[in-house]
Structure 1
Amino acid sequence: MTATAQVALVTGASSGIGKATAIALAAAGFQVIGTGRDTARLTAPAGVTYLDLDVTSDASVASAVQQVIDRFGRIDVLVNNAGVGATGAAEEFSIAQAQGVFDINVYGVIRMTKAVLPHMRAQGRGRIINVSSLSGFVPSPFMALYVSTKHAVEGYSQSLDHEVREHGVRVLLVEPGPINTPFAGHSVVADTPLPLYAAGRRNYDELLEQNLRSGDDPAVVAKVIVAAATDRNPKLRRTAGATARTISAVHRLAPARTFDRVIRKFNRMPS
């Protein structure tokens, strides 16, 4: 590590988008700390140091951030990537399940952000990059719980960005579309399935598997995150991947009724 190397902390860096991001940031000259719940079994890529972290634990978050500060002296970029999917009809999830998903996807982002902000303010600069989703700005039937967490992250990020900008800190959003990762296999499955949703759920599971299989490589998202971390005048939000770009354009330009039909067609639902 050189005296001028910036320090990036990436949550959920053991695989998928997080791992690709850690590698890309290291290649861009950052000293990278990647986190996961159990990193002892992992081989760290060049330029990446692994650290155990549970984003659902206040104590774990505080300890990990302090370890980074103690060892590297600063945190210039935080990438909030740790998250979990959730598939099933909204009615099929128990409240306990919903709370668990929000604890990772939303409160995990808030915990990490609150932990690094004092350090970023003290140094007069920093970037917090929150990995949202195409689902952060459009609906996705049979993923209502997951979608609601990403909508929450979007609202939190946009509002917080205004609060901290005058202190030299920016809060930015990256919105991937379908990415070729084991997302579906790591998703929470609704614990109270109802027969009336069975056909729709099967249809969605098939569609999700197909979209992920043909989705963009995680490196596509990592490239966008590096741009968000390094651009002199960063944009608040950036899509990542061909599908996200296309749907974002349609969402901006199409009338609401037309976009509603697009969503139903995209999800193979009756008109």
Structure 2
Amino acid sequence: MARNSHDLGKLALELRNLGRRVETASIDLASNEITTSLKELLGRGLIPSVVINNAGAAYTGSLAEMELEHWQWLLQLNLTSVFQVFQAVIPILRISGGGLIINVSSHAARKAFPEWGAYCTTKAALESLTRCIAEEERTNGIRACTLTLGAVDSPLWGTNSVCSNFDRRAMLPLEQAAAALVYLAQQPSTQVVEDLTLMPATGAL
């Protein structure tokens, strides 16, 4: 996974140099091409055992003044795209005998923050979606869980849709969030960590 095609290509090259087979696709999760692009990617012969939904965005601003197009954009990226990915991969996971879906959530799913209402809503819905997927697909050997994160020092804070003055030095490093994902992915098929919550030692910022 990567935020842009350049970073994705760089990561793929590093993995191929380690002797790994890597297939990539650049997909705009805000577009209507998700399902078609994913089916093309899955048709290349690799069967995923772990699917991680980590893409997302944030928006800061009053709910009362938020434009509908911004609301719909955030819902698409943080929630609907996860549903679309799920629908694209579920047939192949069922055929292969199971797998693990990890959805990256936020502690904002459980705590309301002023000016972050839209983001809180999408993450709360994502948690519920994950639990529903887990229940519906349990008999197919498919597990679903969430990685719930506090503030992570990621490129999200430099986007135009976010306005904040948090001390990024107090945030979780990207490497710690990645390590938590690896931990979840390495759980044996006989068990599942339904949610792993990782927070900065300083608490919510």
The TM-score bracket by the shorter chain reads: 0.7 to 0.9
Unaligned runs of 5+ in 2: 17-21
Whole-angstrom distance in 1 between the partners of 2:53 and 2:148: 12
2:29 counterpart residue number:
55
Whole-angstrom distance in 2 between the partners of 1:41 and 1:64: 16
The CA RMSD over aligned residues, in Å, is 2.3
Shift of 1:65: 3.9
| Letter of the 2:169 counterpart | R
2:198 counterpart residue number:
240
SS of 2:11's equivalent in the other structure is coil
Whole-angstrom distance in 2 between the partners of 1:187 and 1:239: 27
Conserved in 2, the CA contact under 8 Å of 1:65 and 1:115?
yes
Conserved in 2, the CA contact under 8 Å of 1:137 and 1:151?
yes
Shift of 1:115: 0.4
Q: 2:175 matched to 1:219?
A: yes
* Count of residue pairs brought into register by the alignment: 196
Show CA shifts across 1:153-189 (max 9, x none). Answer: 0111111111101101011100111111222222525
Select the structure that is richer in helix: 1
1:205 counterpart residue number:
164
Alignment CA distance shift 1:113-1:216 (3 Å):
same
Shift of 1:214: 1.9
Show CA shifts across 1:81-100 (max 9, x none). Answer: 11111111222211111011
Conserved in 2, the CA contact under 8 Å of 1:55 and 1:61?
no
1:141 counterpart residue number:
114
Alignment of 1:1-271 (within 5 A): 10=1, 13-14=2-3, 36=4, 38-39=5-6, 42-44=9-11, 46-47=14-15, 49=22, 50-72=24-46, 74-188=47-161, 205-206=164-165, 209-210=166-167, 212-232=168-188, 233-243=191-201
Conserved in 1, the CA contact under 8 Å of 2:38 and 2:88?
no
Unaligned runs of 5+ in 1: 1-9, 15-35, 190-203, 248-265, 267-271
Percent identity (aligned): 23
Shift of 1:67: 1.8
Conserved in 1, the CA contact under 8 Å of 2:153 and 2:172?
yes
Alignment CA distance shift 1:65-1:239 (3 Å):
farther
